[in-house]
């Protein structure tokens, strides 16, 4: 028997709507109490759907959690990439860094549930793997931007990828700590710090080491030595 339209809505559209409702319900529950107690029954109760509708979209709560995190990471990354494109006419690293970092923070704070999701993104190995993938992606974008904006010597430095990975990974951990309430600072202060961290980071240190040979010789020649 062919599936029927109801109210002009196709079966595929109805399934897509139910899937979206389940994802939103799961985000509500994660924001309220974390991922550890998430159950099929609890999600369906929050979504006001029969349990059978859960399994038309997801095989388990783990799969639901990954889909939910993927959806939010995709939306957040899109916001950051859009900001990068919009600021691409500037050659000022501060302007471009602030555009990317600011857009990411605004995305996370626009929906109060997302801060808890970021904290919970380390709660299971599956979620943590997704988080690591995000760090790698953003670090690569940052390295690509650096190759455009940095002086030639820095742009070609073999440690550029390592430096950007360190900055993105550390920055994301800092933002996570802020959402946990461990940092008593405003969002603007956090943004200012991250921008300064990124734009002041020295990938290379070409300062020659101090030659202490003559100094040590002079000290040894002093009376009493």
User: Quick one: CA dihedral 153, 155, 161, 166, positive or negative?
Assistant: positive
The structure's pTM equals 0.82
pLDDT at 160: 84
pLDDT digits (tens, 9 = 90+) for 59-88: 999 999 999 999 999 999 999 999 999 998
User: Quick one: CA dihedral 182, 187, 192, 198, positive or negative?
Assistant: positive
pLDDT at 133: 96
CB atoms within 10 A of CB 67: 16
- CB-neighbour burial class of residue 23 (10 A; exposed 0-12, middle 13-18, buried 19+): buried
Question: Which residues are CB-neighbours of 28 under 8 A, at least 6 positions away?
Answer: 46, 113
Distance of CA 87 to the CA centre of its chain: 19
Kindly report the CA angle at 189 between 169 and 133, in degrees rounded to 5?
20
Q: pLDDT: is 182 or 145 the higher one? A: 182
Which domains are assigned to the chain?
9-59 (1.10.10.60), 66-200 (1.10.357.10)
What are the structure tokens assigned to 4, written together?
């029927």
Least confident of 36-40, 42-46, 142-146: 142-146
Q: pLDDT: is 2 or 14 the higher one? A: 14
Quickly state the pLDDT bin for 154 (edges 50, 70, 90): low
Mean pLDDT of 46-70: 96
């Amino acid at each position: 028997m062919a599936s029927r339209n109801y109210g002009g809505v196709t079966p595929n559209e109805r399934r897509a709507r139910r899937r979206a409702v389940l994802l939103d319900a799961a985000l509500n529950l994660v924001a309220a109490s974390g991922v550890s107690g998430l159950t099929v029954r609890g999600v369906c109760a929050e979504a006001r759907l029969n349990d059978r509708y859960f399994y038309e979209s997801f095989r388990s709560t783990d799969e639901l959690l990954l889909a939910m995190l993927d959806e939010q990471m995709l939306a957040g990354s899109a916001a950051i990439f859009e900001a990068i494109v919009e600021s691409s006419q500037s050659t000022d690293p501060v302007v471009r860094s602030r555009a990317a970092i600011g857009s990411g923070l605004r995305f996370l704070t626009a929906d109060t549930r997302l801060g808890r999701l970021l904290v919970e993104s380390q709660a299971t190995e599956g979620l943590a793997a997704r988080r690591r993938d995000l760090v790698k992606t953003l670090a690569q974008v940052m390295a690509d931007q650096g190759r455009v904006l940095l002086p030639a010597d820095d742009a070609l430095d073999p440690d550029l990828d390592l430096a950007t990975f360190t900055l993105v990974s550390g920055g994301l951990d800092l933002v996570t700590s802020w959402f946990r309430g461990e940092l008593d600072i405003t969002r603007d202060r956090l943004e200012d710090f991250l921008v300064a961290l990124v734009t002041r980071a020295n990938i290379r240190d070409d300062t020659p080491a101090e030659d202490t040979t003559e100094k040590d010789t002079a000290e040894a020649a002093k009376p009493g030595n």
